[in-house]
Each structure stands twice: as structure tokens, then as C-alpha cells.
């Protein structure tokens, strides 16, 4: 598994990161997937305090044990919940970020978080306070680097130039190319993109025809457009799963793509697709067949 530098940081992360959100709450089953990922060379795990309301962090922390020092561990903050109350609310206040960081550290069973990410954000947030808080956590050694999970251009333009953030998580795939116009900007600010949604809810896997039966379109595609596009991509490239990974990793601004797995079989499919992805070098047809839209909102 190849690794790439995360922005201008000292962190080098695997081209495939394991997404924690899909992991089972059964520790034994989750441990089997995590161990398989680490043995395959994946060195980065992405979670969030919101996933299963902290349980996901607890499970990952209990699994890593002595392997923690070999892992780049990323989690997120900003979605606040209260035990016994349904739902959650957005809270990016400095006091809550500090409180949540210590709670995540406890659940993860570690002294530090490698990449601490704001789990969203709006242009109305107190960005000076947010940045100062992240810098304070970094100075205290509780986090190594920080970043944001956001697709909002106005938020990124406010956050990145004023901070030393190294990571921007964005939904990006061959079926959602909206982030492309921002890749150069992110890189110029010393950060890297880490992608989610790479396989587009399974539409960019070799089960695409089955997933199509349950999909009423996707992003900017109607159901009819989606069928035509995927059929043509499959006819040209053969393995859509491999294409999905290769399409993202062709971008120098992208350090890693986060892929979830709820079973060892799903992880194995990703690992096989990753090996095949290295053989895909021509993306002209994929670019011609897919829509290159731009973000309309939050500009």
C-alpha cells in the first residue's frame, strides 16, 4: 500500500484509509476487519465522535492496542449530542471542542489524535475561535494536525488561509466532480484532500447494476442518465470499483480515499480493486462520460 504526504505535515497516510462508520458494534467482527486492513498496509483509520454516539471510537480504541503507534488516527468534532435525547446539534464553540477532544481521547484510549477534523461548519461560525482552539490543542500535544470535513467553498476560503490545517475531507468521485475546481486551492494552502463517497453508494463498484435498481438517480444524474453512464463506463473500463479508486488517486491533491467496510469481504473487494487501479492510467473516457459540475451553494 503506497502512502502520500498529508499536506505539508510530517504525516504519511495510506492511499486507502479505513472508514470507521461502517464498522460493526460487535467488537470481534470489527477487530477482524481492522486487523485485515492493517495487515494489508492501510495505516489510517477515520472515525468521528458522532458515529454510534461515541461507541465507534471506543471500539476502534479497544482494538488498536499496541498497534496504535503505527496508525494515523483521525476523528471529528462539532456534532453535539446529549445522552438520552434524540438527535444532535451543531456546536463548534471553543469550549465544546476542547471538551469533546478530551472525551474522544478517553474513548479512543490514546494520548493524542493524529488528525482532528471539524465535522462540518458554516460561514457564521466563530472561525478565529475555532482555529485558536485547534492550535491550542496542537500546542498541548493532544492533536498532531487538524483539518475539516466540508464541501462548502465559502467555509474553505475562510478556514484554510487563516489556519495551519492539513486535511480537507470532501465527497468526490467520478459521479461527483464538484470539488475539482478547489483542488489547486487546497494544495496551495498546504493541505491535502481526503475523499469520502468514492464509490458513490456502491454505484461505482462491480455491483453497480444491482445498486441501480435501488437508486432513483444520483447527484446531478437522473436514473436514466445514471444507467447509461455506468453501462458505458463498465463497458470501457471493466472494473468500476478499480476505476473509482484510480479516478480519485490520479489527483495529486488527494492524499487518501476513505473506504468503509462492514465485512471482511467488502474490504477484500476494495483491496483487490486497489491493486487493479494501478493499471488504469487513461481517464479521458471517464472524463467525457461524467459531468463536471461546480458547487452552486455556499459560494
The C-alpha cell at 56 is: 465507534
Q: Where are the alpha helices (DSSP H) in 40-145?
A: 55-64, 94-108, 127-139
Look up cell 499496541; give the residue.
66
Query: What residues pair up with 194 in beta bridges, in sequence order?
Result: 169, 256
* SS3 per-residue string spanning 209-267: HHHHCCCCCECCECHHHHHHHHHHHHHHHCCHHHHHHHHHHCCCCEEEEEEECCCHHHH
Query: What residues pair up with 193 in beta bridges, in sequence order?
Result: 168, 254
Rounded to an integer, what distance in angstroms lies between the CA atom of residue 250 and that of residue 299?
26
Q: What is residue 104's three-state secondary structure?
A: helix
Rounded to an integer, what distance in angstroms lies between the CA atom of residue 167 and that of residue 145?
8
Catalytic annotation present for 96: no
Longest dimension (CA), the chain: 53
Q: List the one residue out of 207, 194, 169 whose CA is nearest residue 257.
A: 194
The C-alpha cell at 191 is: 493541505
Q: How far is CA 199 from the centre of its chain?
A: 12
Q: Which of these is catalytic: 51, 172, 218, 221?
A: 51
* CB-side neighbour CA atoms (13 Å) of 57: 24
Count the neighbouring beta carbons within 10 Å of the beta carbon of residue 21. Answer: 15
Q: Which residues are tagged catalytic?
A: 51
Amino acid at each position: 500500500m503506497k502512502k502520500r504526504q498529508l499536506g505539508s505535515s510530517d504525516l504519511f497516510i495510506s492511499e486507502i484509509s479505513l472508514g470507521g462508520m461502517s464498522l460493526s458494534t460487535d467488537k470481534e467482527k470489527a477487530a477482524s476487519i481492522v486487523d485485515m486492513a492493517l495487515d494489508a498496509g492501510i495505516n489510517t483509520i477515520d472515525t468521528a465522535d458522532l458515529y454510534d454516539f461515541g461507541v465507534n471510537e471506543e471500539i476502534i480504541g479497544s482494538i488498536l492496542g499496541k498497534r496504535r503507534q503505527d496508525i494515523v488516527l483521525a476523528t471529528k468534532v462539532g456534532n453535539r449530542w446529549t445522552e438520552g435525547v434524540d438527535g444532535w446539534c451543531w456546536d463548534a464553540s471553543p469550549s465544546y471542542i476542547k471538551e469533546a477532544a478530551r472525551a474522544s481521547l478517553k474513548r479512543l484510549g490514546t494520548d493524542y489524535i493524529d488528525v482532528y477534523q471539524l465535522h462540518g461548519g458554516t460561514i457564521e461560525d466563530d472561525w478565529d475561535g475555532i482555529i485558536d482552539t485547534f492550535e491550542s490543542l496542537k500546542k498541548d500535544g493532544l492533536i498532531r494536525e487538524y483539518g475539516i470535513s466540508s464541501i462548502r467553498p465559502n467555509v474553505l476560503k475562510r478556514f484554510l488561509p487563516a489556519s495551519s490545517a492539513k486535511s480537507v475531507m470532501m465527497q468526490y468521485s467520478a459521479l461527483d466532480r464538484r470539488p475539482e475546481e478547489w483542488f489547486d486551492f487546497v494544495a496551495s494552502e498546504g493541505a491535502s484532500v481526503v475523499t469520502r463517497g468514492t464509490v458513490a453508494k456502491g454505484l461505482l463498484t462491480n455491483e453497480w447494476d444491482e445498486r441501480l435498481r435501488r437508486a432513483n438517480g444520483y447527484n446531478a444524474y437522473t436514473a436514466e442518465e445514471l444507467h447509461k453512464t455506468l453501462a458505458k463506463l463498465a463497458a470501457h473500463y471493466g472494473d468500476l470499483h478499480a476505476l473509482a479508486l484510480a479516478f480519485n488517486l490520479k489527483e495529486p491533491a488527494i492524499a487518501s480515499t476513505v473506504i468503509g467496510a462492514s465485512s471482511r469481504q467488502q474490504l477484500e473487494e476494495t483491496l483487490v480493486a486497489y491493486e487493479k487501479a494501478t493499471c488504469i492510467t487513461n481517464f479521458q473516457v471517464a472524463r467525457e462520460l461524467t459531468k463536471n459540475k461546480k458547487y452552486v451553494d455556499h459560494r
